[in-house]
A and B are shown apart, each in its own frame.
Chain A
């Protein structure tokens, strides 16, 4: 693990302890030994490629799946809300009718429902579409309604599972702003995505999950570290370069610490008679981190 799981917090909005889950007794673990804690007001970015276990983890945290081992401590329903990848509402109902139904399902007191519905309509900029059937709304507006439903009970903890999937850039920007606004209001958010730029933009801490295991957890700068990456392209090389990582298509990369010499590394290659066609050098980004940890791309 690149960065250690954060130290124990005194006040946690979400505590996930040693979670294990598999879909069948003979299947491999879909979630294996996941531990983390989130403080109130924290936004955690849960990064991983498709099938890494992000949605399964969120379904366990929300109580939809029961872990085989481990536990989850979170606010009781409706103090948390899961906003999934799908538009989980009724297309034949208007936005307001959907909100009224889910407000009742979330046991929002009847005297407060109208006020809450107006508030979430405003938060998600749906006031003008309130009385339009949701099937007649654009994809972006539907995603906003999906989020609005999650906000109805004013939950302390929000579990967002790829909330920007299949939306246009404008709607994506709006949703990211909404997450920032939630953080400003002290909400704890778990933001699952495979878009690292979104996670970098809105999250305080980042968890990288692959094969059901957390392989990195920490603040962005902790995960990126102070290392720099040197990547070279040596198409004619068949030998294994000691200490280097093969990235595919003839590329090799190596992490350089602050005291490592760029010239020295290149000289070593030259001394071995390796001809380079391309050289890249710079600070790492999340894609680099993910690649070095899993040997595959985030979008795989």
Chain B
């Protein structure tokens, strides 16, 4: 009989374009967009993609040397007002201003008038990376000035070209402990997969409410269908839908994201750990779905409750804003959302090559949450019946 329930749910779902859009199209769109949007926030070796304009108000050999060291190909503008106008038109992301008195301040070992004006929408991480490049170039310039001042004692020192010796290059190499470093796609796929898995609350709750309102559940009960089978008849098909979501979103990350210029999702993962993370997240999502269905009286109420709950849990759980991007003080709030637990488990599987043992705690929390929510939901449904 369970097979009949599974067939029925799959036929219904296949003919429900709204549910298909929520369960499959929405996460696909988010994965594609967010994988590209966050690409440089996750890359350890990213070169700056910022479009920087230059204003040299000092017009000295030192200021020209600085600009050569930082970015020989950047576009110069005559003054700050012109540069700011360009930023306002979004023609550039930042404006580097070498103020007048730069060379004098350098000679007197004072803080030179050097600033980076940013267009408000420019990501802070990219600005920090840009500032690092300018700091390194400034350090090189200071070192060269020091060597020149010593040239009267040791003439050979004056001929040293620090830039040619890599003085402006980053001295510290960033490397991940994982053979597969965390990329934006490895954050986006788990995040939006978990989000979409919890969105199963929409079709589950609206279907269940429809069955209650139309008397279908009563008809099944009067036919002697056991209550356990009624519950399993809803949960098992949507557990299979969850597994389909996992396969579909992994395929999107692996093959579709690279087509639009993103990184490919690495599938070098422990399959058992992936299966456990997916199953535990599914149990939590299904439990929450049944709980929402038990509280809502109409499909409209269920839609609002499911959508609202999922968005709040997603925001808390680090779905919308990745935990790594959150300030340290904010990161603990992800512990209060089952989506955060699911995301931790999936990210561990994808980025840290976690085994099933190492994600056991997150999976146990998800299963416990799911079982408690299921029990509450079933209790309320029975009471209302």
Residues of A within 8 A of B (CB): 59, 62-64, 76-78, 80-82, 84-90, 92-93, 97, 100-102, 104-107, 133, 149, 153
**B8 pairs with A82, CB closer than 8 A:** no
Q: From A97, which residue of chain B is reached at the shortest CB distance?
A: B11
Task: Report Cα–Cα, A242/B7, bound state, in Å.
Answer: 68
- For A149, the chain B residues whose CB sits under 8 A away are 219
**A92 pairs with B215, CB closer than 8 A:** no
**B110 within 8 Å of A (CB atoms):** no
Task: Report Cα–Cα, A76/B222, bound state, in Å.
Answer: 10
Task: Report Cα–Cα, A84/B190, bound state, in Å.
Answer: 45
| Given A86-B214, A90-B216, A63:B11 Cβ within 8 A | no
Starting from the known contacts A105-B1, A105-B225, A107-B224, 15 additional A-B residue pairs (CB-CB under 8 Å) come to: A64-B221, A64-B222, A78-B223, A88-B215, A88-B216, A88-B219, A93-B11, A93-B12, A97-B8, A97-B11, A101-B8, A105-B4, A105-B220, A106-B223, A133-B15
**A104 pairs with B11, CB closer than 8 A:** no
- Interface size bracket, B side: 20 to 34
**B135 within 8 Å of A (CB atoms):** no
Residue from B220, B221, B223 whose CB has the most chain A CB atoms within 10 Å: B223
Interface residues of B in 1-26 (CB under 8 A from A): 1, 3-5, 7-8, 11-12, 15-16
Residue from B3, B213, B221 whose CB has the most chain A CB atoms within 10 Å: B221
- For B222, the chain A residues whose CB sits under 8 A away are 62-64, 77, 80-82
**A84 pairs with B12, CB closer than 8 A:** no
Task: Report Cα–Cα, A109/B250, bound state, in Å.
Answer: 41
Q: From A77, which residue of chain B is reached at the shortest CB distance?
A: B224
**B11 pairs with A82, CB closer than 8 A:** no
**B15 pairs with A101, CB closer than 8 A:** no
**B215 pairs with A86, CB closer than 8 A:** yes
Task: Report Cα–Cα, A245/B230, bound state, in Å.
Answer: 53
Contact with A92, one of B12, B216, B225 (Cβ below 8 angstroms): B12
Task: Report Cα–Cα, A81/B5, bound state, in Å.
Answer: 20
Convert B218-257 into 0s and 1s, putting 1 for each residue whose CB lies closer than 8 angstroms to a CB of A.
1111111100000000000000000000000000000000
Give chain A nearest CB distance to B218 CB in angstroms.
Answer: 5
Give chain B nearest CB distance to A162 CB in angstroms.
Answer: 12
Contact with B218, one of A64, A78, A90, A133 (Cβ below 8 angstroms): A64
| Given A102-B223, A106-B223, A93:B214 Cβ within 8 A | no
**B218 pairs with A84, CB closer than 8 A:** yes
| Given A77-B224, A105-B225, A93:B8 Cβ within 8 A | yes
Task: Report Cα–Cα, A196/B5, bound state, in Å.
Answer: 39
Task: Report Cα–Cα, A100/B1, bound state, in Å.
Answer: 11
Give chain A nearest CB distance to B255 CB in angstroms.
Answer: 31
Residues of B within 8 A of A (CB): 1, 3-5, 7-8, 11-12, 15-16, 213-216, 218-225
- For A86, the chain B residues whose CB sits under 8 A away are 213-215
Task: Report Cα–Cα, A77/B225, bound state, in Å.
Answer: 9
Give chain B nearest CB distance to A155 CB in angstroms.
Answer: 10
Task: Report Cα–Cα, A149/B16, bound state, in Å.
Answer: 23
- For B215, the chain A residues whose CB sits under 8 A away are 84-86, 88
- For A133, the chain B residues whose CB sits under 8 A away are 15
**B1 pairs with A104, CB closer than 8 A:** yes
Residue from B11, B219, B221 whose CB has the most chain A CB atoms within 10 Å: B219
**B219 pairs with A82, CB closer than 8 A:** yes
Q: Which 3 A-B pairs have the closest CB atoms?
A: A77-B224, A104-B4, A88-B215
| Given A90-B216, A105-B1, A77:B223 Cβ within 8 A | yes
| Given A87-B214, A90-B216, A100-B4, A105:B11 Cβ within 8 A | no
Give chain A nearest CB distance to B22 CB in angstroms.
Answer: 16
Give chain A nearest CB distance to B287 CB in angstroms.
Answer: 24
- For B214, the chain A residues whose CB sits under 8 A away are 86-89
Task: Report Cα–Cα, A102/B223, bound state, in Å.
Answer: 9
Task: Report Cα–Cα, A251/B383, bound state, in Å.
Answer: 48
Task: Report Cα–Cα, A89/B220, bound state, in Å.
Answer: 10
**A84 pairs with B219, CB closer than 8 A:** yes
Task: Report Cα–Cα, A133/B218, bound state, in Å.
Answer: 22
| Given A77-B223, A133-B15, A82:B4 Cβ within 8 A | no
Task: Report Cα–Cα, A104/B6, bound state, in Å.
Answer: 12
Task: Report Cα–Cα, A2/B59, bound state, in Å.
Answer: 115
Task: Report Cα–Cα, A89/B214, bound state, in Å.
Answer: 7
**A78 pairs with B12, CB closer than 8 A:** no
- For A76, the chain B residues whose CB sits under 8 A away are 224
Task: Report Cα–Cα, A78/B11, bound state, in Å.
Answer: 25
**A101 pairs with B218, CB closer than 8 A:** no
Give chain B nearest CB distance to A4 CB in angstroms.
Answer: 31
Q: From B224, which residue of chain A is reached at the shortest CB distance?
A: A77
Give chain B nearest CB distance to A25 CB in angstroms.
Answer: 15
- For A88, the chain B residues whose CB sits under 8 A away are 214-216, 218-219
**B219 pairs with A90, CB closer than 8 A:** no
Task: Report Cα–Cα, A90/B220, bound state, in Å.
Answer: 12
Task: Report Cα–Cα, A153/B219, bound state, in Å.
Answer: 13
Give chain A nearest CB distance to B384 CB in angstroms.
Answer: 12
Q: From B233, which residue of chain A is reached at the shortest CB distance?
A: A105
- For A85, the chain B residues whose CB sits under 8 A away are 215
- For A153, the chain B residues whose CB sits under 8 A away are 223
Task: Report Cα–Cα, A38/B5, bound state, in Å.
Answer: 35
Chain A to chain B contacts (Cβ below 8 Å), 21 pairs: A59-B218, A62-B222, A63-B221, A77-B223, A82-B219, A85-B215, A86-B214, A86-B215, A89-B214, A89-B216, A90-B12, A92-B15, A93-B12, A101-B7, A101-B8, A102-B223, A105-B220, A105-B223, A105-B225, A107-B1, A149-B219
- For B1, the chain A residues whose CB sits under 8 A away are 104-105, 107
Give chain A nearest CB distance to B298 CB in angstroms.
Answer: 15
Q: From A104, which residue of chain B is reached at the shortest CB distance?
A: B4
Give chain B nearest CB distance to A153 CB in angstroms.
Answer: 8
Give chain B nearest CB distance to A54 CB in angstroms.
Answer: 15
Q: From B216, which residue of chain A is reached at the shortest CB distance?
A: A88
- For B5, the chain A residues whose CB sits under 8 A away are 101
- For A82, the chain B residues whose CB sits under 8 A away are 218-219, 222
- For A63, the chain B residues whose CB sits under 8 A away are 221-222
